[in-house]
Copies of this chain bind each other. A is one copy, B any other.
């Protein structure tokens, strides 16, 4: 029980319009607030939930960043997503009440815990909440579809360009700079997520740097030419679809 617990609430949370509470009435927010738990922050490398562990809650990121990954521990794991403040994770456990992937903090991170049974009950009583949850689930599925499209159709250069452009958009929506940010994940994790090797990612950063598209300094990235970067996302041809992502 710390002071943070007392001060933080969905009502005041500046992420609420990205997160589950969006669109709820004040009274409804109160009821949601009532089931939210706010455990102590995770430090870099700490596990939020583990593959095979029982599923009892979904989580909203409040600060920091997390990754989820699945797969054999023998180094053949696959990173399935990175989660930023305002994003929901843990949905994969809904199937069998077991998590099928592991969630780990990439840096010091706070999450809000939404016990799933209570959340379900609340969804029955608050149609707006159910609707919002469905939307966020739909978004999650859509993001995964984009990722599959990338893995199946895009070459290495396109993948990194897409990653940078969509990450920039996500930072922008959260009120951060879209042109200058810190990558919360290692090169290794980034490469794994993109279905590439760290060496390839490193070379691509080098090429983008040489071509004046970006500047990098360790985990800091500065996007110098967003429009050219967007063009790269779809290969030489059509740059239409991705432009939409940028709003």
A interface residue numbers (CB < 8 A to B): 70-72, 74, 76-78, 80, 91-96, 100-101, 120-121, 123-125, 127, 130-131, 134-142, 144-149, 151-153, 192, 195, 234, 237-238, 241
Question: In the bound complex, do residue A130 and residue B137 qualify as a contact, i.e. CB atoms below 8 Å apart?
Answer: no
30 cross-chain CB contacts under 8 A: A70-B145, A70-B146, A70-B149, A71-B153, A72-B238, A74-B237, A74-B238, A77-B153, A80-B145, A80-B148, A80-B149, A91-B141, A92-B141, A92-B145, A94-B134, A94-B135, A95-B135, A95-B139, A95-B141, A120-B131, A120-B134, A123-B123, A123-B124, A124-B130, A140-B141, A144-B145, A151-B152, A151-B195, A152-B192, A152-B195
List the 10 shortest-distance A-B pairs measured between CB atoms, nearest first: A94-B138, A95-B138, A151-B151, A78-B152, A78-B149, A95-B139, A152-B195, A144-B144, A94-B134, A124-B124
Question: In the bound complex, do residue A120 and residue B124 qualify as a contact, i.e. CB atoms below 8 Å apart?
Answer: no
Question: In the bound complex, do residue B192 and residue A137 qualify as a contact, i.e. CB atoms below 8 Å apart?
Answer: no
